[in-house]
Amino acid sequence: MTQMAKAREGIITEEMKIAAQYEGIDPEIIRKGVAEGTIVVPANINHKGLKPRAIGKGMKTKINTNFGMSRGKEDQEYELEKLQLSLDMNSDTVMDLSIGGDIKGLLKRVIEKSPVAVGTVPAYQMIAEKGIFFTAEDFFEAIIDQAKLGVDYMTLHCGVNQSSLKLLDDSKRIMNCVSRGGGVMLNWMKKNGTENPLFEYYDRLLDIAAEYDVTLSLGDGFRPGSIHDATDKHQIHELRILGELTLRAWEKNVQVMVEGPGHVPLDQIATNVKLQKTLCHGAPFYVLGPLVTDIGAGYDHITAAIGGAVAAWHGVDMLCYVTPAEHLRLPALIDVREGIAATKIAAHAGDLAKGVTSYSEKDNVMSRARKDYDWEKQRELAFDKIKFDKYQKDGEQGDKKQCSMCGEYCPMRES
Ligand code: SF4
């Protein structure tokens, strides 16, 4: 039985209790949300040692960290360092997005080491192993393999179908498709002249997901990759399909999140959240960014954090981190650290605004620690302790009741 099936029978599972403890709330709130579909607790039955977190309505905004090998960058140990950093910085979920190297080997190690939910995009394994020459059967076998390994949630681009492909005939977009997984399905459909197997055989996918309790993260193959393309007919058409697929998943007690943009100007973010929540019946919304401008190269963790904070404020449930390397290269460890810190700040700022976190919990404590020159407490509350240590050491002066910014004129001393 899935978490959703149990929740609908009134059962509060161990996973719901763990998630509730993390939130500091009554587990019944999580049970009710899982039963309704407004909350997911991704928890594959084969992921041993998992301490799941709840994603959805009324919960703290979660963040996800991506890593993974690509062709020519196949060092598993380096990717596992990124996993450890993600855990040290309290990432709520991680995704192994490998498209090169020993994909199954790394995934197995990630699941063994990760106490937080692990996500994947199975299309990447397909494209890495077989290029575009895979069959529908190959794809379902890869999904079953990953489900058996213990993957808690999978991004699957089920909404990229022949109707959305046809819409591209008179596309006014600058970039038709910027989703790697969505692009795989588009190219496969064009090559084979048939329907996307994830859409055509969706019930089969649901049966697999139900057997292992894999949460579906319905991918947005047509997420806007440019401000110009935001909230256009391609994005909304796909969102409508994802809404229908959400209802079908719930009929089989399969948990669902819906993925979202992408690049969206600040003034369209609230509308995007409202649209998703309406068209997808309140299913949790998981966004990449959103990046509020296209011209932040090298600093896209900032463009994404601005959008992420506003998105979280308006009801987005999980933010996928974006690093300074976005659009430029595979992130290095330093990029991962900067990306996580920026995304944690965005999620927390959004939570303060939407009222799921109180100022008294951390912000007031930090302010008092600053006032008291309590550097240890400040460090404890900092999202990036490595940077805190470096900067604090650099700025330290003989007198601990000042730093190198204002020195002996520190205004807090006498006030
Ligand atoms: S010296 Fe200035 S920056 Fe440093 S602790 Fe005092 S007020 Fe803050």
CA of 397 to the centre of ligand 1 (A): 11
* 369 Cβ closer than 6 Å to some ligand 1 atom: no
Class of the 3-354 domain? alpha beta
* 412 Cβ closer than 6 Å to some ligand 1 atom: yes
Amino acid 25: pLDDT? 96
For 171, phi then psi, to 5°, come to -65, 140
* 378 Cβ closer than 6 Å to some ligand 1 atom: no
CA of 343 to the centre of ligand 1 (A): 26
Q: What are the pLDDT digits (tens) for 204-250? A: 999 999 999 999 999 999 999 999 999 999 999 999 999 999 999 99
CA dist 144 and 211 (Å) reads: 10
Amino acid 360: pLDDT? 81
Amino acid 303: pLDDT? 98
Task: Break the chain into its structural domains and give their ranges.
Answer: 3-354, 363-409
CA of 412 to the centre of ligand 1 (A): 7
CA of 41 to the centre of ligand 1 (A): 43
Q: What are the pLDDT digits (tens) for 9-21? A: 999 999 999 999 9
Given a contact cutoff of 8 angstroms between Cβ atoms, the answer to whether 37 and 317 are in contact is no
Q: Is the pLDDT of residue 291 over 90?
A: yes
CA dist 300 and 360 (Å) reads: 30
Q: What are the pLDDT digits (tens) for 355-411? A: 998 888 899 999 999 999 999 999 999 999 999 999 999 998 877 888 999 998 999
Q: Which of 378, 393, 399, 405 best tests ligand 1's pocket when mutated (most atoms within 8 Å of CB)?
A: 405
Of ligand 1's listed atoms, the one at least distance from the Cα of 409 is: 1
CA dist 316 and 287 (Å) reads: 7
Nearest protein Cα to ligand 1, atom 6: 410
* 402 Cβ closer than 6 Å to some ligand 1 atom: yes
* 405 Cβ closer than 6 Å to some ligand 1 atom: yes
* 396 Cβ closer than 6 Å to some ligand 1 atom: no
CA of 394 to the centre of ligand 1 (A): 13
Q: What is the ipTM of this complex?
A: 0.96
Nearest protein Cα to ligand 1, atom 4: 403
Q: Which of 368, 393, 401, 410 best tests ligand 1's pocket when mutated (most atoms within 8 Å of CB)?
A: 410
